[in-house]
Amino acid sequence: MRTRAQTIPGPSTPERYPGRMATQADRAAERRVAKLEDVERQLKEGSLTIRKMTAEERKRFPPRPAKPRKTGRR
């Protein structure tokens, strides 16, 4: 007897399905990983510095309110 995971295909990833095109989610994940690697590389090189905001900057740029969640879409 097949389980639910065997009958319903999940997101296709290049590792699981060689020869198939990557899905939009796969491409987005690859772009995210590439951006994170770029940030890490810049941090190591010293061309990028991450620092805490000052009190003055926090006043000038307060956190944005969270977007309301959409309900009842399905």
Length of the chain measured in residues: 74
Q: Which helix (H) or strand (E) holds 72?
A: none
Rounded Cα gap, residues 57 and 4, in angstroms: 51
Q: Note the pLDDT of residue 74.
A: 65
23: phi then psi, degrees, rounded to nearest 5: -80, 170
- If residue 22 lies in a helix (H) or strand (E), which one and from where to where? none
Which pair of tokens denotes residue 63? Answer: 């956190």
Tell me the mean pLDDT per 10 residues along the chain, length 74: 51 62 93 97 96 96 91 72
Q: How many Cβ atoms from other residues are within 10 Å of residue 73's Cβ?
A: 4
Supply the pTM of this predicted model: 0.53
